[in-house]
Amino acid sequence: MNTLQIVSGNFSAKDNFSAYDDDSERYFVPKRLMETKGWLKDADVKFPFWAKTKVKQIGQLDASGEPLLHEDGTPILLDRSQITSLFLTREELIASCVEKASLPMDIASAIRDRASKAGLDTKTIEQLANAVF
């Protein structure tokens, strides 16, 4: 996962969104993700916004809409930088990242607490806490 600030962009003819960071790098944003913020047209979008991204492989199509294939019959795939989560503020993005990072710690802590109350020894408690991840 990568995080970044989006400073500009526009909707495509197919209603997806092309977002750009301050280095003019392009990111694909699915229409459904833009809709979660109520952004249906260019004028609705509030810049800057913040995002989580990842590179996803996508298939390629020929002019008739059929998948392009390698000689061995496997699909031709290209990497595309895609936004997976949108945030209206930098603080929302930070809170999301903190929540994601702290969830495993909180789970392990709860396991340790419950196992300790059950009277298990330290070695067993740590094995249980580490087994979850």
Residue 129: the pLDDT is: 85
89: amino acid identity, one letter: T
Contact 27, 18 (CB under 8 A): yes
Residue 11: the pLDDT is: 98
Contact 20, 10 (CB under 8 A): no
Q: Which phi and psi (to 5°) does residue 34 adopt?
A: -65, -35
Cα 60 off chain centre by: 22
Residue 40: the pLDDT is: 96
Long-range contact set of residues 77-80: C-beta below 8 Å, sequence gap at least 24: 79/55, 80/28, 80/55, 80/56
User: Could you list the pLDDT tens digit for every one of the 133 residues in the chain?
Assistant: 899 999 999 999 999 999 999 999 999 999 999 999 999 999 999 999 999 999 999 999 989 989 999 999 999 999 999 999 999 999 999 999 999 999 999 999 999 999 999 999 999 988 988 887 6
What element of type H or E holds 84? strand 77-87
